[in-house]
Amino acid sequence: MQKKAIRIIGVPIDLGADRRGVDMGPSAIRYAGLNGRLKRLGWDVEDHGNLEVPVPETREIKDKRLKYLEEIVTINEGLHLIVSEAIKDGVVPLIIGGDHSLGIGTLAGLALDNRSFGLIWFDTHGDYNSLDTTASGNIHGMPLAVANGVGAPELTSIGGIRKKLREENTVIIGARDMDPQEKEQLRQTKITVFTMRDIDQIGMTEVVTQSIKIASQGTDGVHVSFDMDVIDPEEAPGVGTPVPGGVTYREAHLAMELLADSGCISSMDFVEVNPILDHQNKTAKLAVGLICSAFGERIF
């Protein structure tokens, strides 16, 4: 990746999840030294600050099947324009959250002007629920489906393009906790899913190598979306939906190092850091380390 400017965009949203606290994720990541470490790697860093996000206590849930729908639509409408502007300005957008519902706006922004991009989605969950399959009504479990044109019209219409991604260029890495109907919906797509069993069997190197090939084939770049709950809770306790048996510390860094080596990353988001559930900012510090590995930091 040719070094240029990185534009950091904070989205302190926790409206998409039941557990409070991820709204403080952007602050925790910045506090862990993100800007300074990226600058030391030779990157120009522009910090856009945070989008304005209402707190849940000032809003009411109008539909329990799609909690805080109006607010999440408004936030992602704003985010997609900011992300698109970053691409037009020739800088790398780095979105820090916040819950994964922000992925709706990020992917909408990347898809504007008929841009083609591959997608590598690190996540314990499939994030492929919709109004018809969700058990919780939490929109942070829906962004991948929304980006594929599946879901409430208010969400899929953001950016004016219903289908934002190419299924054949989309990969999920690290899945280990998906709802039954969500699994079935994903099986009907061309999205590639590497579960934790796949990582156990063939190793992270092969999984990432295959993922890069899939995501970069015929695209202008690859967006990496990294949900910190993909990492084992022993290493990343500060997440809202921890599930045992996740990616190890070194597997996560190796994945980022391989992505950096490929030069394919054109944009990135890191989400679901919850300082309330963390220990001495451990998860945010790990997030910063992984981001820096993705942007060229090396052991030697």
Residue 73 near residue 158, CB atoms below 8 Å: yes
Burial of 8 by CB count in 10 Å (0-12 exposed, 13-18 middle, 19+ buried)?
A: buried
14 among known catalytic residues: no
Catalytic residue among 14, 127, 198, 297: 127
Catalytic residue among 71, 182, 198, 229: 229
140 among known catalytic residues: yes
229 among known catalytic residues: yes
Catalytic residue among 14, 123, 232, 269: 123
279 among known catalytic residues: no
257 among known catalytic residues: no
80 among known catalytic residues: no
Integer Cα distance of 295 and 182 in angstroms: 32
Structure tokens at 126: 């499939």
Catalytic residue among 257, 269, 272, 278: 272
> Containing H/E element for 277?
none
232 among known catalytic residues: no
Integer Cα distance of 210 and 224 in angstroms: 14
CA 165 from chain centre, in angstroms, equals 14
Catalytic residue among 23, 71, 100, 232: 100
Task: Identify the residue whose tokens are 């219903």.
Answer: 162
Q: How many other C-beta atoms can be found within 10 angstroms of the C-beta atom of residue 112?
A: 18
Structure tokens at 148: 């594929």
- Beta strands 92-97 and 5-11 are parallel
Catalytic residue among 14, 80, 99, 125: 125
Residue 152 near residue 111, CB atoms below 8 Å: no
127 among known catalytic residues: yes
For the packed helices 69-88 and 103-111, what is the interaxial angle rounded to 10 degrees?
Answer: 40
Catalytic residue among 14, 23, 140, 251: 140
Nearest to 224 by CA among 146, 119, 92, 124: 119
Catalytic residue positions, numbered: 100, 123, 125, 127, 140, 227, 229, 272
